Amino acid sequence: MGRFLNVALGVLTAVGGFVDIGDLVTNAQVGARFGMSLAWATVLGVIGICLFAEMSGRIAAVSGRATFDLVRERLGPTMGLLNLLGSLGVSLLTYVAEIGGVALSVQLICGVSYLLLFPIFGVFVWLVLWRAKFSLIENVFGILGLALMVFVVSAFQLGPDWSHLGHEAITFAKPVQENWSTWCYYAVALFGAAMTPFEVFFFSSGGVEDGWSDKDLPVMRSNVALGFPLGGMLSLSIAACAATVLMPLGVSVDSLDQVGIPVAAALGRVGLAIALLGFVAATFGAACETGLSVGYAVGQYFGWQWGKYVRAAVAARFHIVIALSTLVALGVLATTIDPVTVTEMSVVFSAVALPLTYFPILVVANDPDYMAEHVNGRLMNVLSSLFLVLVVVAAVAAIPLMIWTHLGA
Amino acid sequence: MRRLAVFPLFVVLMAPSCLPSTPDQSAWRAAAIRSVEDVASSVATVEWGIEHDDDLFGRYLRSLVVHAEESADSSQQKLSSLQPPGAAEAIYDSATGTLSDATSVVADARIAVVEGDDAAYPGLAHRLDQIGDRLDALEQQLRAMPTGDHD
Amino acid sequence: MRNRFDSPYDAVLHLLDRQVLDSDGLMVCKVDDLELVRVGSSWWISALLSGTAALLPRLGGRAGERAMRFWKRMAPEQTDRDVPYRVEITEVADLTSAVNLSRPRQQALVRERRADSRQLRNLLECRVRTEAGEDLGHVLDVRIDHDGHRLVGLVVGRGRPDSLLGYDRHPQQGPAALRLIVRMLHRHSGYATWDQISELDWDRGQLTLTGRLQPLQAAS
């Protein structure tokens, strides 16, 4: 019974924790402009993250080493440092977006401008990361994030023409007035939103925090195999809701409040209230994960003690890095840059940074010295190699597409 | 000697940014269509919001309308600041006129929402619907414009 | 996990840049470099090196040198700014996925320069040529005999030490595509025993070998 509860908790946390501000905004934008014609990009992204999360989770369980530890060990100090700078840059950008997302979500609830709220919530995130137990961070926000299931309910309640949506998805039916270049840009953005690099740092470091071993492999695999795809379904339902309500109105999403419109249309105030709870939980949880990931990356590169499984005093440098990065994030938000714009940029740069993370994971997951008998099987290698190619293609195409389409205008 | 040469170079490089940007016909058309679409999106958002105010919380509707107004204003200003190429001057006036009418309707809606003036909602919804239709017509006109590749 | 010190191992692949853990499992540092000492005609690993002074020069070539100069200039009043922290190799209990020390981490790292010692990175930067003057590339890795940590061989080839990624040593390590690419990039790489070294000029970074390079094989 205890085992079952463990698995259930893990799956639920994975589902609720899957969606962050990037998924919320990007899926709604895409649904409103392109209908379901880009559903394939989300599906590919979900498969990709399942593969790489499983590998990095397995590495953490079998060898006790987390992702960034191995990046330096496998690529060497120079490439590792460049990798660190790149990953840090993207993680910081995402951190800014998530804290901004929390402030925007709370603004929708209480009406106070997000510019007054973000310092409070930024400090709150830092305090939680400093003081709260890891299991609390992992579980509470994951479970609360399940409130976003209201999008799945709304999608059904709205009663769209499912065959039409399905047809759009399968035939990649791009709307006539949009360009193929913008379509490709949003494909890369969706891919980056689903396969966020920090998710893998967090998942594997979290495995070390939780003290995973060989025995935890089945639980870890079920978390990944059930949790992430269900989370992906959440993303698709956000897009479906936007396609059903916003697209016919000609509304294009450029603020978080428009994302909630379909839920209000389907379920009224009750649904909207649940969605708002979901926004706050998802963005706050993601902010915590991103903040921790910054600390993990720096600590794991330099060999410092990191993690919340030891007292704060024992991992002093780790906590200082988190505090400093929170300060930097708040500084960026203080320039009054629109958090939604930062989110749009962060998903694209996430796509650019993907190969940096995934390549070392693929190499180490095959190394018998680390993995003993748990090395990648044939099928896993074939799929992961294919995805590595995809990830490199997305990374190379991301910035040119971003410039060419003016951030998807 | 090198420092003296830098100054005129600096002036030459900075001069273009002091003048309003002058896109060619197809670039202006694309920018105009984008602006019209953005403003139409804001108008549709506000219209939906005040028609469905029973499904929303007061603060939520306020946020929705304020953000929509900000977005509409910035799209309208972006287009007004672009110098229209010769062939587009005719449509420039009607385009900027329609956009500025749209932003003023949205502003009126925002004022009503912030003051909680529910009674005004039906009238505003009607006005938003009408300006939405005008924006659609404007967009069709812009799309029908030649892209001017053979100028 | 098996103790890698049960059999010969490769310094760069198995030891360098690894996490060091103490006897309680807490993290100490990374292995940023290795201290080598000469006893008789052989060289032996005497200590693990760590710290900014050990890491910066490993960033490679010009960038590494400039970073080091910058580091020293930041505090000219300190005498030992360029001396790395060290942990005696005898304090290492075993090597699994990390280097495990046999002592707690409190005061484990000592800043001390040992006279007449060299660092592994000096060896890794060495250009290798045959006695006939043919250029064979660089030292990519060093084979170490586990009993006493004596240097017994060199992996020589073109490119940088980390570009091997371990694929040369395990014949069947997947994925197949990556293995083939790495093998192709390193088709001229080979192994030489320590006795094949006829001349080793540490300061100029030059190493001369007699005989031919043997094909690469896993350490064990």
The mean per-residue pLDDT over the stretch A246-256 comes to: 93
Q: Do chains B and C touch (3 or more CB pairs under 8 A)?
A: no
Asked whether the CA dihedral C131, C136, C140, C141 is positive or negative, the reply is negative
What are the beta bridge partners of residue C38? C43
CATH code of B22-144, in short, is 1.20.120
DSSP element (H, E) containing C218: none
* Among candidate residues C57, C53, C50, C61, the one with its CA nearest the CA of residue C17: C50
What pLDDT is recorded for position C215?
85
Judge whether A8 is closer than 8 Å to chain C, CB to CB. Answer: no
CB-nearest partner of C59 from A77, A314, A385: A77
Give me chain C's average pLDDT, please. Answer: 88
pLDDT at A238 over 60: yes
Give A73-98 pLDDT, tens digit per residue.
888 899 899 899 999 999 999 999 99
Residue in B with minimal Cα distance to A246: B45
Helix axes A39-63, A197-209, angle to 10 degrees: 30
Q: Would you say C198 and C210 are in contact if contact means Cβ atoms under 8 Å apart?
A: yes
Judge whether A249 is closer than 8 Å to chain B, CB to CB. Answer: yes
What pLDDT is recorded for position A384?
92
Judge whether C51 is closer than 8 Å to chain A, CB to CB. Answer: no
pLDDT > 90: percent of chain C: 54
Q: Do chains C and A touch (3 or more CB pairs under 8 A)?
A: yes
What pLDDT is recorded for position B7?
63
Parse chain B into domains and list their residue ranges: 22-144
Judge whether A68 is closer than 8 Å to chain C, CB to CB. Answer: no
Residue in B with minimal Cα distance to A259: B64
Q: Do chains B and A touch (3 or more CB pairs under 8 A)?
A: yes
Judge whether A375 is closer than 8 Å to chain C, CB to CB. Answer: yes
Torsion angle (degrees, nearest 10) of CA C96, C98, C101, C102: -30
Please list, in sequence order, all residues whose beta carbon lies within 8 angstroms of the beta carbon of residue A384, skipping any fewer than 6 positions away: A51, A52, A55, A362, A365, A376, C175
The full DSSP string for B51-76 is HTGGGS-HHHHHHHHHHHHHHHHHHH
What pLDDT is recorded for position A127?
96
By the 10 Å C-beta count (0-12 exposed, 13-18 middle, 19+ buried), A355 is classed as buried
pLDDT at B145 over 90: no
pLDDT > 70: percent of chain A: 100
What pLDDT is recorded for position B150?
46
- Of the candidate ranges C17-26, C80-89, C157-166, the one whose mean pLDDT is the lowest: C157-166
The answer to whether the CB atoms of A303 and C59 lie below 8 A apart is no
pLDDT category at B126 given cuts 50, 70, 90 is very high
Q: How many residues does chain B have?
A: 151
Residue in A with minimal Cα distance to B43: A251
Residue in A with minimal Cα distance to B52: A265
Measured CA distances, B124 to B42, B106, B118 (Å): 14, 9, 10
Give B80-116 pLDDT, tens digit per residue.
888 888 777 888 888 889 999 999 999 999 999 999 8
Helix axes B25-51, B121-144, angle to 10 degrees: 160
Judge whether A157 is closer than 8 Å to chain B, CB to CB. Answer: no
What pLDDT is recorded for position B85?
81
Could you give the angle at the alpha carbon of C143 between the alpha carbons of C141 and C146, nearest 5°? 140
The mean per-residue pLDDT over the stretch C28-35 comes to: 95
The answer to whether the CB atoms of A306 and C59 lie below 8 A apart is no
Residue in A with minimal Cα distance to B39: A251
What pLDDT is recorded for position A76?
87
Q: Which pTM value belongs to this model?
A: 0.91
pLDDT category at A5 given cuts 50, 70, 90 is confident
CB-nearest partner of C174 from A79, A302, A376: A376
Contacting A residues, span 59-88, partner chain B, CB-CB under 8 Å: none
Residue with tokens 């692949």: C13
pLDDT category at C48 given cuts 50, 70, 90 is very high
Please list, in sequence order, all residues whose beta carbon lies within 8 angstroms of the beta carbon of residue C127, skipping any fewer than 6 positions away: C135, C137, C138, C205, C206, C207
Measured CA distances, A288 to A2, A230, A326 (Å): 27, 22, 10
Could you give the angle at the alpha carbon of C208 between the alpha carbons of C203 and C214, nearest 5°? 130
pLDDT at C24 over 60: yes
The answer to whether the CB atoms of A252 and B57 lie below 8 A apart is no
Could you tell me which chains touch chain C, where touching means 3 or more CB pairs under 8 A? Answer: A
What pLDDT is recorded for position B134?
94
Q: Would you say B49 and A242 are in contact if contact means Cβ atoms under 8 Å apart?
A: no
Look up the ipTM and state it.
Answer: 0.92
* Among candidate residues A18, A39, A24, A13, the one with its CA nearest the CA of residue A262: A24
Cα–chain center distance at C40: 21
Instruction: Please give, rounded to a whole number of angstroms, the shortest distance from the CA of B89 to a CA of chain A.
Output: 24
The answer to whether the CB atoms of B55 and A264 lie below 8 A apart is yes
Interface test with A, best of C21, C27, C141 (most A CBs within 10 A): C27
The mean per-residue pLDDT over the stretch C77-89 comes to: 92
Judge whether A254 is closer than 8 Å to chain B, CB to CB. Answer: yes
Cα distance between the two ends of chain B: 44
Q: Would you say A160 and A31 are in contact if contact means Cβ atoms under 8 Å apart?
A: no
What pLDDT is recorded for position B94?
87
Judge whether A384 is closer than 8 Å to chain C, CB to CB. Answer: yes
Q: Which amino acid is at C20?
A: V
pLDDT at B19 over 80: no
Residue in A with minimal Cα distance to C175: A381
Please list, in sequence order, all residues whose beta carbon lies within 8 angstroms of the beta carbon of residue C44, skipping any fewer than 6 positions away: C36, C37, C38, C148, C149, C150, C151
Give me chain A's average pLDDT, please. Answer: 91
The answer to whether the CB atoms of B40 and A260 lie below 8 A apart is no
Query: How far is Cα B88 from Cα C18, in angstroms, rounded to an integer?
Result: 66
Pairs of CB atoms within 8 A across A/C? 86
pLDDT at B15 over 70: no
Could you tell me which chains touch chain B, where touching means 3 or more CB pairs under 8 A? Answer: A
Query: How far is Cα A3 from Cα A26, in angstroms, rounded to an integer?
Result: 36
Residue in C with minimal Cα distance to A310: C26
Residue with tokens 């060091």: C20
* Among candidate residues A190, A147, A186, A194, the one with its CA nearest the CA of residue A53: A194
- Of the candidate ranges A174-188, C78-92, C157-171, C178-192, the one whose mean pLDDT is the lowest: C157-171
Give A85-140 pLDDT, tens digit per residue.
999 999 999 999 999 999 999 999 998 999 999 999 999 999 999 999 988 888 88
Give A42-58 pLDDT, tens digit per residue.
999 999 999 999 999 99
Residues in chain A with CB shorter than 8 Å from the CB of B34 are: 409
What pLDDT is recorded for position A329?
97
Residues in chain C with CB shorter than 8 Å from the CB of A64 are: 97-98
Give A182-229 pLDDT, tens digit per residue.
999 999 999 989 988 888 888 899 999 989 999 999 989 988 999 899
Q: Which amino acid is at C200?
A: L
What pLDDT is recorded for position B21?
61
Structure tokens belonging to residue C176? 């197949």
pLDDT > 90: percent of chain A: 66
pLDDT category at A300 given cuts 50, 70, 90 is very high
pLDDT category at B151 given cuts 50, 70, 90 is very low
